[in-house]
Amino acid sequence: MNQIIARPQLEGVLETSLYVSNLETSLQFYREVFGFEALYLEPPRMAALSVEEKQILLLFLKGASAQSVEVPDAGTVPGHDGAGKLHLAFAIALQDLAYWRSWLEQHHTPIEAEMHWGRGGHSLYFRDPDGHLLELLTPGVWAIR
List of domains in the chain = 11-65 (3.30.720.120), 85-145 (3.10.180.10)
Kindly report the length of the chain: 145
pLDDT tens digit at each of 145 positions of the chain: 688 899 988 888 999 999 999 999 999 999 999 999 999 999 999 999 999 999 999 999 999 999 999 999 999 999 999 999 999 999 999 999 999 999 999 999 999 999 999 999 999 999 999 999 999 999 999 988 5
Q: Are the C-beta atoms of residues 86 and 14 closer than 8 Å to each other?
A: no
- How many C-beta atoms surround the C-beta of residue 121 within 10 A? 18
Ranges of beta strands (E only) in 92-132 are 111-116, 122-127
